[in-house]
Structure 1
């Protein structure tokens, strides 16, 4: 498979889909690729197996709890942005809600519209979470209630909405270009899994150094001050 730049991809989709649908399809495709990549990193850290969470808790629990919360908030924000109304005040948005009006092929529209409806329904909790806890701080929730009253969704729900957004784009791409995009990421160099290996190596070395110190067998390097 040959590599193409983002500019080349945009040019290809514009040529195949037209000047109105093509550019917006390309940008939404880029967003969903990034969305999938971020979610894969989150799941790699926090949703794969308990031993990974135990490793993070044994090394920097406060930091990784912050990472977990910020990561998840960002995912819901990203999904909310992509499914927001086309127009908010005087501003126009890049959103999946634009797609139906940009599709001229009635057969394709009949396939895409139910998926769009599902995407909006599935992502409703993302907008509620964003509006009351992340982008804004709901006064009633802050004073009289707790965040537990707001549905933050589950990993399964996030998986489902990401899959639906990917399905929408592939339905359009397959119909108009006879191609498709593999949106699911299996990992990449420099990602979360590499971080886990470094954490594991560091934890092992830390435990070995501590054992030497406790048994009065410390080396000069064990006791040397370090500047990180």
Structure 2
């Protein structure tokens, strides 16, 4: 029987201690959501050109909107999870929150080093968040001589995610002697399912158009030519 998220959290608290167990558990869930979001992006827009053509041929404007949304959400996630643990009086849930909750000096040193690597890998996403996604930088929008946004690519996102994964696995190895490969997590009702349904629908549409062109159409074929609400 699978354990619930709350049960896993309580187990982590019992093993790691109250603060570390709670912080680690919430970060684990957050990283899982980050990977899920990114896997959807890659399955639709980063697998092969044929899929992009399929999306453009069915609802190009809509799927461009989805693409932009998934991309920006991913960069926001990367920025948010590498924010400082505290800004003024406000505390943030980020990987930086882990260090103060770790009492073991050797483990703290390892986690601190992995956090530094992850923060460096996420620097490009922070620039996008600060000057384009969360805020509209005036100079970037209107001044052609303004410093351009940091280069951002799928490779950089993957490396950033892997660096964040390493932070959590450094903690997990110390207490559970195990690590999580977030990229291997299965997603139900995902973009992969959507691709299959779109391909199926386009084949059926082509068959229908062929019957109409040849004069061998059915009443249902003609009815489908008129838009209808579902």
Which residue is equivalent to 1:118? 117
Unaligned runs of 5+ in 2: none
Distance 1:10 1:172 in 2: 14
Where relative contact order (Cα < 8 A, 6+ residues apart) is larger, the structure is: 1
Deviates more, 1:215-224 or 1:73-82: 215-224
Aligned with 1:20: secondary structure? helix
What is the deviation of 1:87? Answer: 1.6
TM-score, structure 1 length as denominator? 0.94
**Would you say the 8 A contact 2:44–2:52 is kept in 1?**
yes
Aligned with 2:36: secondary structure? helix
- How many residue pairs get matched? 227
Which residue is equivalent to 1:37? 36
Counterpart mapping for 1:123-142 below 5 A = 123-142=122-141
Deviates more, 1:138-147 or 1:174-183: 138-147
Aligned with 1:189: secondary structure? coil
Which residue is equivalent to 1:92? 91
What is the deviation of 1:219? Answer: 1.3
Which residue is equivalent to 1:25? 24
Which residue is equivalent to 1:49? 48
Indicate the RMSD between aligned Cα atoms, in angstroms. Answer: 1.8
Distance 1:161 1:202 in 2: 36
Report the CA distance shift for 1:152/1:134 in structure 2 as closer, same or farther (over 3 A).
farther
Aligned with 2:6: secondary structure? helix
TM-score, structure 2 length as denominator? 0.93
Unaligned runs of 5+ in 1: none
What is the deviation of 1:74? Answer: 0.2
